[in-house]
Chains A and B, each alone.
Chain A
Amino acid sequence: MAIFVNENTKVIVQGLTGGQGKYHGLRNRDYGTQIVGGVTPGKGGQDVDGIPIFDSVAEAVEATGADASFVAVPPKFASDAILEAAAAGIGFVVCITEGIPAQDEAKTYNLLVRNHPGTRLLGPNCPGIISPGKCNIGITAGEIAQEPSADGPNVGIVSRSGTLTYQALYELKQKGIGVSTCVGIGGDPVPGTSFIDCLAEFEADPETHAIMMFGEIGGSAEEEAAAYVRANVTKPVAAYIAGVTAPPGKKMGHAGAIVSGGKGTAQGKMDALSSAGVKVGLNPTEAGELMADIAAGL
């Protein structure tokens, strides 16, 4: 088991003929992911390293039976690409695109909720998702992920920031702890998939025995996740929040990471998580060590 994607997931890449789409799409295939097609309007009938290209998502789904999509197109086309995938019946859309205007994101999210409740969006501006040994969609280097072991314990990872997601995978790999699924939800203002969505799935997944969560300053997603853990999660959770030393009021690189009016501070988030019973590390390595302690006791 794994959450959201597994060895049976069939993936198309929207933008497979572009630089990023091709590079990462082919890497995902090399990892063992079933990349069954690509979509680029006007390039239908061509192929990228043997992967057939279609003019539309609908045609790609019809021909390949794809149920997931990897959106790797520039910001101004990303919203349309996501909605096209949803309209074609794709159930899981991963969008790595960085730099989508917040207004577009908010509208796209609400259009999905209203018109395509069967579609889950991961991202945008996220590293993607990997169920180690089964399926890797996005830009994560597959070799840093430890495959889950049959007898466990295995950890589910959910993280907001891209590179910290890799850091989380790395910390567990160093300790030889298996990962069921690692989800990078992205740091944008309106992520399609939240911490809570992932916590709920991990809680229900029999192959996941503990959860590691990496958050960062800004917004209130970590506080909401803490409340959810307290009420609904029985599996042990370890966490890390980036940005303890970030100066208030400064926008730290992406839209998500801003502290304002004393809200969204790292300390506030750590306190909320601790009081919900989560073990909170002061840096990624410490969080990894806390998780190792948890795993040793399982």
Chain B
Amino acid sequence: MDLFEYQGKQYFARFDIPVSPGGPADTVDEAVTEANQAGYPVVVKAQVQVGGRGKAGGIKLADNEAEVREHAGNILGMDIKGHVVRRLWVEKASDIDEEYYASFTLDRAEKKHLLMLSAEGGVEIEAVAESNPGAIVKLHIDPVDGLDAATARQACVDARLPERALDGAAEILVKLYRCFTEGDCDLAEINPLILKPTGEVHALDAKVTLDGNAEFRHPEWEAFKGLTEMDDREKMAAEKDLQYIGLDGSVGIIANGAGLAMSTLDVVNQVGGSAANFLDIGGGANADVMAGALEVINFDEDVRSILINIFGGITRGEEVAKGIVEALGRVDLRAPIVIRLDGTNAEEGRQILLDAGIPADKLQSEPTMLDAARAAVALAK
């Protein structure tokens, strides 16, 4: 789950990471209220999950109430690379001496945590990585040991942060690492991390991705939900706990397992079709999940055929078949189904479909993934 900047800052605050005083605003009036509370000058920032907000005019400095009204009015509703701005974050402007970059992620190749720290923050870190890789300190941290204050300070020294920034930056690194680990982040990034003329170091931006698998131990994440940028199809799928991504094609896809689902997309593409979505019903899906998946696919008006590709392992064929029969009784599917069913209890599943007496123009069975893709693509044309 990707957080908006303001949510990231709220999350940072839970771990004592210093951020500027401010608040979210959905209207011009709310923006003024937040600005008056924070104290001028303020920065009015568009809340969208896409880079390049500043260049697009989505971040503006305001010295007084009139300027807040002007900028908030302009930015709300603005389209930034396809993302419409529905919310602002208004915070007290900071005096900046220097801008740094800091982040924690998991390095999958090394199987360790990775700290990246640079004295050249404020810009695209990828650009720095390309033009001046030596300017980024990369430190692997064993998750068993964690990050202590001395190591964090040494990283700041290695990144050539100035003496007066060392203590403040090191302290933030330790807190950010706690946020990353105890806060179950896939990514915790501050860019820029700023040094003020007063010598204080603080987070001017926040980029946080939460690990959905850890949701069970974070009831506080509930507050972050609801604003994620999803289309109507994706919202419906999310309500049913399905892994769904909307695409632009006409073949609705249902498969079990992310790999097989991706592979199904590939094969549909190779035989000349295009997928309307990616939908992984996951491992061990029962009849109810399958019926729900068909409802989500049916909600998409562009879908002209539905390709169900199931290779049962933990998912059982008879459950899949029951779900299809149930869905056909529950909803009026506008597109025909082509199914390929293999693996655990596939035989029982095929029998259930046969016994249900579903007409051939509503459901056809194909022996292989490739055959099923060809049939579904033909039906979608």
Interface residues of A (CB under 8 A from B): 20, 24, 75-76, 96, 98-103, 106-107, 109-111, 114, 127, 138-141, 144, 159-167, 170, 187, 189-190, 214, 216-217, 219-221, 224, 240, 242-247, 250, 252-257, 261, 266, 282-285
Contacts and interface: CB of A to CB of B under 8 A. Distances in A.
A220 B260 contact: no
Interface stretch (B11-19, B278-286, B358-366): B278-286
A221 B106 CA distance: 14
Contacts of B344: 139, 141
A285 B111 contact: no
Query: Which of B112, B144, B256, B262: most chain A CB closer than 10 A?
Result: B262
Contacts of A285: 368-370
Query: Which of A103, A144, A165, A219: most chain B CB closer than 10 A?
Result: A103
Nearest to A27: B344
A191 to B, nearest CB: 9
Contacts of A161: 257-260, 262
B202 interface: no
Given A164-B263, A252-B261, 5 more contacts: A167-B260, A216-B259, A245-B275, A252-B243, A257-B258
11 contacts: A103-B184, A110-B142, A162-B313, A243-B265, A245-B266, A252-B262, A253-B262, A255-B186, A256-B258, A283-B369, A284-B263
Contact of B257 (A99, A101, A102, A164): A164
Contacts of B312: 141, 166
Interface stretch (B153-161, B210-218, B329-337): B210-218
Given A102-B211, A253-B278, A110 B259 contact: no
A110 to B, nearest CB: 5
A214 B342 CA distance: 18
Nearest to A188: B213
Nearest to A261: B126
A139 B108 CA distance: 25
A103 B217 CA distance: 12
Contacts of B216: 75-76
B219 to A, nearest CB: 14
Main secondary structure of the interface of B (DSSP, over half): mixed
Contact of A127 (B108, B267, B270, B313): B313
B223 interface: no
A67 B108 CA distance: 28
Interface string B156-200: 000000000000000000000000010010100000000000000
Given A101-B184, A170-B342, A245-B266, A139 B109 contact: no
Interface string B220-264: 000000000000000000000001010100000001111111110
Contacts of A170: 311, 342
B142 to A, nearest CB: 6
A139 to B, nearest CB: 4
B108 A167 contact: no
Contacts of B368: 285
A103 B284 CA distance: 24
A163 B255 CA distance: 9
A246 B144 contact: no
A244 B264 CA distance: 10
A283 B313 CA distance: 20
B263 A96 contact: no
A283 B109 contact: no
Given A102-B106, A167-B311, A283-B270, A246 B265 contact: yes
Contacts of B278: 246, 250, 252-253
B322 interface: no
A100 B213 contact: yes
Given A24-B314, A245-B269, A283-B370, A252 B245 contact: yes
B240 to A, nearest CB: 14
Contact of B259 (A103, A164, A247, A250): A164
Contact of B262 (A75, A106, A216, A224): A216
B143 interface: yes
A114 B112 CA distance: 13
B234 to A, nearest CB: 11
B57 interface: no
A209 B252 CA distance: 39
Nearest to A144: B343
B45 interface: no
A283 B74 CA distance: 49
